[in-house]
Structure 1
Amino acid sequence: MSANDFSLQSLIRPEAAEPAFVFDGTPVSRAEFLARVEQTAAWLAAQGIGKGDVVAVWLVNRVEWIALLFAAARLGAIVAAVNTRYRSAEVAHLLKVSGAKLMVVEAAFRSIDFAAILADIAKDDVPALQQLAVVGADRIPAQWPCVRFDAFDAVHPPAPLAQDDVDLPVLLYTTSGTTKGPKLVAHSQRTLASHAVSIANALQLDPQRNSLLAMLPFCGTFGMTSLLGFIAAGATIHVLDAFEAAPALKILSEHRITHSFGSDEMFRRILALTDAPRPFPHLEICGFAAFQPGWRELAAEAEARGMRLFGLYGSSEVQALFSIARGGDTFANRIEGGGWPMSPDAKVRVRDTETGELAAHGVSGEIEISAPSRFLGYFNNPEATGDAITTDGFFRTGDIGRLRGDGAFVYETRAGDAMRLGGFLVAPGEIEDELKSCPGVADAQVVAVDLKGQARCVAFVIAAAEPPQQEALTARLRERLAGYKVPARIYLVDAFPVTDSANGVKIQRARLRAMAMERIATE
């Protein structure tokens, strides 16, 4: 096989179904998409983007997003995916760590004021950023030069082809970090394309019969991986620019959709909008990630109404849809996170966290994974990469689970202190660092709690000489962080509960969670 067999371009199948995509009711054929990729590559080259350059993409789900990724691959450039829910501190961190030279950004989307967010970023903090390209407008108010993203309209000389470099970084996802900002997970064309083909084969996708409702954001591995898997299958993909239950219900009902992937909350909201006993007779697989309490009850209700939910597993480092349950599994096993690896070349093992030895079937420990879908490393962070990979090439997931004994595995919980908020994995340190940068805050700790059926975070703050106003802290965090990271409560304390150990003083995070729930209960 040649290197080009592992390029993103190789995923476009000539015998595929038409149209390739449907965006807000507008079909895009495969020929049209390939033409837009060529136009976008030429446009990027005209902006001075070449091999190794990073382009930050801050867009909702639209054809420009996918065209930018495929075009960057043709040039040997790299796309850094920016979550549309990010705010100034998060965007600044991503731009700084990635060294992005160009950012392609929305002019506006619903209530998101992209220009206002950019205005809160100091130009000196992101010295590599040279220019903004705006989709949907000629420019936005910003301290960087702006051009209109007119790749589909303007004519530029054809771009040089560099897609043979299939093992170089092409896409950067963000993932939870231990300090202020997230790490950047680097994937190549080979890791993305080979996993996409594995998904198409494992799910036995038929381009003439199967179709996907893409309702997850392309900026995350869950949305992008499912998208690429169905591109590899040659199936039609119906795309939501951002998730809303009503348009998702309409597409599922009217277009014979067979597959969709999302969170438990997404499927709960869709089901709540219809009284039909079996509303989706064509739907075969709904792969879901369980983030909220009550997901088992949801799965049972969905099953009774003909919506079969399938548990799955993935991460930015090994990509989403790394594994999924099978139709022949019992209901109890099918809805558990984990399942069977998509790739026949993937290996999963579990290491006992106490002894450090590999665990037997049925014994819980840290999940370790070796697979073709494994990331290249953390971008510009070799130390973190070294810590994450074993000497024999397995990725230390930081997740707890067990082997089932039949070739499948079960995901149980996240090791350590990372929090699952708004469907995203968030490190407490990211929010704590923002709090500690606020006037009047000497120290801060953040924990996750179950608040009215939702995972929310609660902050405990030790005040400096001039105690902070809690309303002011919340307002500042809303400006600096995505809404799901803003604490539901901020409590002032004199000290944190700690435990002395041989390795130093440790914060009793379990006690902090209990304190949070006790205080909330009294309210």
Structure 2
Amino acid sequence: MSANDVSLQSLLRIKNAADPVLVFDGKAVSRAEFSAKIEQTAAWLAAQGIGKGDVVAVWLVNRVEWLALLFAAARLGTVVAAVNTRYRSAEVAHLLKLSGAKLMVVEAAFRGIDFAAILADVAEAEVPALQRLAVVGADAIAARWPCVRFDAFETPYPLAPPIPDDVDLPVLLYTTSGTTKGPKLVAHSQATRATHAASVAHALRLDPRRHSLLAMLPFCGTFGMTSLLGFLAAGATIHVLDAFEAAPALQILSTQRITHCFGSDEMFRRILGLTDAPRPFPHLELCGFAAFQPGWRELAAEAEARGMKLYGLYGSSEVQALFSIGRASDAFADRIEGGGWPMSPEAKVRVRDLETGELAGSLVSGEIEISAPSRFLGYFNNPEATREAITADGFFRTGDIGRLRGDGSFVYETRAGDAMRLGGFLVAPGEIEDELKSCAGVADAQVVAVDLKGQARCVAFVIPAGEPPRQETLIARLRERLAGYKVPARIYVVDAFPVTDSANGVKIQRARLRVMAMERIAGE
């Protein structure tokens, strides 16, 4: 297979593809127009001094500029670091420092997000590689760094000669939870992205003449980007929401004959809640969903009764979203479970018994390990973490617990370790704990996730340093530094944490902390 077959550009050379390729806010973008925007963006990047091996951070909502930057970066050998629009200053600073981004492309403004104010809390010393900002929608924003306007679509720049495709070099960096402060950066190449996109298109049997996608997940995450690239690989039309809202999603699903949609259980719950129609979406064939909230089985049953078929799936930043999905031939109870059947026929899934360390047979729970063409290159600038994550024979240790069914499919059961699922994202407690410990009056902190009114929220316990800090003060500070879904719903002051002495040292009793959190909330 040649480099041309597994490059991102190959996804735009699909025979008999539908036109338009993309629809943003009702505005169609033809395949020819999209290709031209990629060329213009590549020329613009080159004019900014960006070339092979450089990193560009993209801090945008879902828009055509986001995709043009990714495909243009692939032409130049440049790397895109995806920045979550829900990030705040500490998270943005960490990503910029770890990636070594020279340029950040940023929104001028979007709804209630003040990008300039967030950047104002990032010190230049924290991100020494960053040279300038490029602003979409304005000439500049108030910032410490020089600003240029992203005018690739407006101003002709000398065309940049493409470099020979090296499809195995990093092209896209995602963030993923870690055990220490700040997330790691998961590196993917053109080959891992394009190969998996083709697997998704083939496994779902997508036909550009009758299938279409509502893309309502953010491009900055693997779930949103993988589903979009899969439909590009199929040559199907993609309708895009700049950011999820239930009402616009309902309108597009109802009027545009959408056949496929992917999202969280909460997204589908909100969409269904806006219509009383018994079968509101007659053209909808498949809704892939990730279950993050309690009551997802009840939601799936209600959706089924109203003609919206939900399919459980599995994925991660390291092996990409839509790694696997349920099948229409599965029994309903099996189809809606996380896991399913791998998209790629070359993918291998095994389970390792956590007690014995041996590979487990069918129906035995253990850690899921995966080998597949969609597997990441490694953690960017973190070879030690990469070595720890990959077995000697090349399988990725997912840190997820599941079991094999014995028929080629598997079931995802839960996340191992301490990682929390908040707002649809995996979050390491240490990230929030370190921010708390940087606050005045906090000597130590521990964070756990609890079910609060049907939502997964985190609760913090802090040991004071002198005068006990006020909860309101700590929460206000964290709102400045972290994405909203990471801000604790409650912060309780304690004299000490419950611990257990073991041969491996003193361990925090996180299960006891969760019980304490629920008891205190119930007593309020």
Task: Establish whether TM, by shorter chain, passes 0.5.
Answer: yes
- One-letter amino acid of the counterpart of residue 53, structure 1: D
The answer to whether the Cα contact below 8 Å between 1:55 and 1:80 also exists between their aligned partners in 2 is yes
The answer to whether the Cα contact below 8 Å between 1:8 and 1:70 also exists between their aligned partners in 2 is yes
What is the distance in 2 between the residues matched to 1:146 and 1:17? 38
What is aligned with 2:346?
345
What is aligned with 1:97?
98
What is the distance in 2 between the residues matched to 1:196 and 1:114? 32
The answer to whether the Cα contact below 8 Å between 1:73 and 1:163 also exists between their aligned partners in 2 is no
- Shift in Å, 1:158: 1.1
Deviations 1:312-371 (A, max 9, x none): 000000000000000000000000000000000000000000000000100000000000
Determine helix, strand or coil for the equivalent of 2:385: helix
- Shift in Å, 1:14: 4.3
- Shift in Å, 1:163: 4.9
- One-letter amino acid of the counterpart of residue 229, structure 2: L
Determine helix, strand or coil for the equivalent of 1:112: coil
Structure 1 position 289 matched with structure 2 position 251 = no
- Shift in Å, 1:179: 1.3
What is the distance in 2 between the residues matched to 1:486 and 1:354? 35
What is the distance in 1 between the residues matched to 2:319 and 2:508? 31
Determine helix, strand or coil for the equivalent of 1:399: strand
- One-letter amino acid of the counterpart of residue 289, structure 1: A
Could you list the runs of 5+ residues in structure 2 that have no partner in the other structure? none
Structural mapping, 1:390-429, within 5 Å: 390-429=391-430
TM-score by length of 1: 1.00
What is the distance in 1 between the residues matched to 2:296 and 2:468? 40
What is the distance in 2 between the residues matched to 1:445 and 1:269? 32
- One-letter amino acid of the counterpart of residue 364, structure 2: V
Determine helix, strand or coil for the equivalent of 1:154: coil
What is aligned with 2:5?
5
- Shift in Å, 1:178: 1.1
Structure 1 position 359 matched with structure 2 position 332 = no
Structural mapping, 1:37-436, within 5 Å: 37-436=38-437
The answer to whether the Cα contact below 8 Å between 1:73 and 1:162 also exists between their aligned partners in 2 is no
What is the distance in 2 between the residues matched to 1:125 and 1:366? 37
The answer to whether the Cα contact below 8 Å between 1:7 and 1:163 also exists between their aligned partners in 2 is no
What is the distance in 2 between the residues matched to 1:386 and 1:162? 30
Deviations 1:247-268 (A, max 9, x none): 0000000000000000000000
The answer to whether the Cα contact below 8 Å between 1:458 and 1:490 also exists between their aligned partners in 2 is yes
TM-score by length of 2: 0.99
- One-letter amino acid of the counterpart of residue 376, structure 1: L
Determine helix, strand or coil for the equivalent of 2:461: strand
What is the distance in 2 between the residues matched to 1:111 and 1:154? 29
What is aligned with 1:441?
442
- Shift in Å, 1:81: 0.1
Determine helix, strand or coil for the equivalent of 1:396: strand
Deviations 1:128-166 (A, max 9, x none): 000000000000000000000000011111112125110
Determine helix, strand or coil for the equivalent of 2:238: strand
What is the distance in 2 between the residues matched to 1:470 and 1:442? 14
Determine helix, strand or coil for the equivalent of 1:391: coil
What is the distance in 2 between the residues matched to 1:368 and 1:400? 9
Deviations 1:44-102 (A, max 9, x none): 00000000000000000000000000000000000000000000000000000000000
- One-letter amino acid of the counterpart of residue 191, structure 1: T
- Shift in Å, 1:15: 2.1
- After TM superposition, the runs of 4+ consecutive aligned structure 1 residues lying more than 2 A away are none
What is the distance in 1 between the residues matched to 2:25 and 2:209? 21
Provide the identity percentage. Answer: 86
Determine helix, strand or coil for the equivalent of 1:339: strand
Structure 1 position 496 matched with structure 2 position 497 = yes
What is the distance in 2 between the residues matched to 1:219 and 1:251? 22
What is the distance in 2 between the residues matched to 1:147 and 1:343? 42
Deviations 1:214-266 (A, max 9, x none): 00000000000000000000000000000000000000000000000000000
- One-letter amino acid of the counterpart of residue 425, structure 1: L
The structure-2 alpha-carbon separation of the partners of 1:269 and 1:163, relative to structure 1 and needing over 3 Å to count, comes to: farther
What is aligned with 2:506?
505
What is aligned with 1:35?
36
Determine helix, strand or coil for the equivalent of 1:283: coil
What is the distance in 2 between the residues matched to 1:463 and 1:146? 42
- Shift in Å, 1:467: 2.0
Determine helix, strand or coil for the equivalent of 1:459: strand
- Shift in Å, 1:466: 2.6
Determine helix, strand or coil for the equivalent of 1:433: helix
What is the distance in 2 between the residues matched to 1:396 and 1:441? 35
What is the distance in 1 between the residues matched to 2:199 and 2:439? 47
Deviations 1:149-193 (A, max 9, x none): 000011111112125110000000000011110000000000000
